[in-house]
Amino acid sequence: MSKIKNLRWSNLYVGLIFFLMYLPLFYLMFYSFNEGGDMIYFTGFTLDHYQALFSDMRLMTIILNTFVVALLSALIATIIGTFGAIAIYYYRTNRQRQLVLNLNSVLMVTPDVMMGASFLIMFTSLAAILPLKFGFGTVLLAHIAFNVPIVVLMVLPRLYEMNPSMIMAAMDLGATPSQVLSRIILPSIKSGIFAGYFMAFTYSLDDFAVTFFITGNGFSTLSVEVYSRARTGVSLEINALSTLMFLLALGIVIVYYFLRIGEQKRTHNRQRQARGDL
């Protein structure tokens, strides 16, 4: 009886936490359909704010910039991070492996303001000797840099779950290193690669602190633009934009969930088939 009571209290506590976390989001979403111009009184349902959002060409351009940076930085960081995780996995000594992982973790816990300031100093120094301008290029490079450690942490556990005897068997049968990589290692860690890409895409999409330091020459991302507009008063267009971004994030989570479920089913079927062959 006490276990059931504790379970109910635990469920109530978790439900309360989620309610407090999602309440501001639903508040923004609710007033994005408000016919009035504020978030105090709901005067009627309208889609005018969504229409105004899509007619704002400057904001549409900034949204496109944000997605281009997020997609490219996530893709490049996933490639670099995946091969970096494989390199860490094949380190001969545990001491080397732990050293690199600790350095990787330092980048994960470094405050965004410090990273942004560091990138600003570095790019300013490089601009004195190279034809480097603040804008798309600097933002893309910075996003790749802070996304790589995320991908490493997502891919490395999948490498440890991989059966090393498969690699040894393939090499004994004459497989080249490229064949081992393409036919054994990458398929085995595919779910970790997808997870790393989605995480990197999400981090890049909503980054503000780092981007704020290194943007320029008329280039801006969504988070920086929302901050700039919030200083003069948030319009309900931002509510409409927040609603669409929330639905996009929800869609990404759902897609990743079904990818994981499909990967688990395929793994389970392969294991059953292997047991049947035995």
Average pLDDT (11-38) is 85
Report H helices in 90-175.
94-109, 112-127, 136-161, 164-172
Tens of pLDDT, residue by residue over 213-237, are: 998 878 888 888 888 877 776 678 8
pLDDT-based confidence at 76, cuts 50/70/90? very high
CA dist 59 and 42 (Å) reads 25
pLDDT-based confidence at 100, cuts 50/70/90? confident
Q: What's the chain's Rg over C-alpha atoms?
A: 23
Dig out the tokens for 12 from the structure: 């109530």
Average pLDDT (83-97) is 86
Tens of pLDDT, residue by residue over 109-161, are: 888 889 999 999 999 988 888 888 888 989 999 999 999 999 999 999 888 88
Residue 38 has what DSSP assignment? S
Residue 45 has φ and ψ, to the nearest 5°, of -85, 135
Tens of pLDDT, residue by residue over 232-261, are: 766 788 888 888 888 888 888 888 788 778
Tens of pLDDT, residue by residue over 38-61, are: 777 788 888 888 888 888 888 889
Average pLDDT (54-70) is 90
Q: At what angle do helices 136-161 and 94-109 cross, to 10 degrees?
A: 140
Per-residue confidence (pLDDT) for residue 128, from 0 to 100 = 85
pLDDT-based confidence at 107, cuts 50/70/90? confident
Q: Collapsing DSSP states into helix, strand and coil, what is residue 216?
A: coil
Per-residue confidence (pLDDT) for residue 234, from 0 to 100 = 67
Q: Indicate whether 186 pLDDT > 80.
A: yes
Q: For residues 73 and 143, is the Cβ–Cβ distance under 8 A?
A: yes
Share of the chain above pLDDT 90, in %: 19
The β-bridge partners of 45 are 34
Distances (CA, A) of 209 to 37, 48, 124, 277: 29, 31, 17, 55
Residues in contact with 27: Cβ distance below 8 Å, sequence separation at least 6, in sequence order:
39
Q: For residues 184 and 167, is the Cβ–Cβ distance under 8 A?
A: yes
Average pLDDT (23-51) is 84
Give which of 188, 187, 189 is closest to 154, Cα–Cα. 189
Per-residue confidence (pLDDT) for residue 45, from 0 to 100 = 86
CA dist 105 and 112 (Å) reads 14
Tens of pLDDT, residue by residue over 259-269, are: 778 777 777 77
Residue type, 222: L
CA dist 121 and 214 (Å) reads 9
Location of structure tokens 């994005």: 32
Q: Indicate whether 1 pLDDT > 60.
A: no
Q: For residues 159 and 132, is the Cβ–Cβ distance under 8 A?
A: no
As a whole number, the mean pLDDT across the chain is 85
Per-residue confidence (pLDDT) for residue 148, from 0 to 100 = 93
User: Which is higher by pLDDT, 85 or 271?
Assistant: 85
Q: For residues 206 and 223, is the Cβ–Cβ distance under 8 A?
A: yes
Q: For residues 201 and 193, is the Cβ–Cβ distance under 8 A?
A: no
CA dist 200 and 171 (Å) reads 33
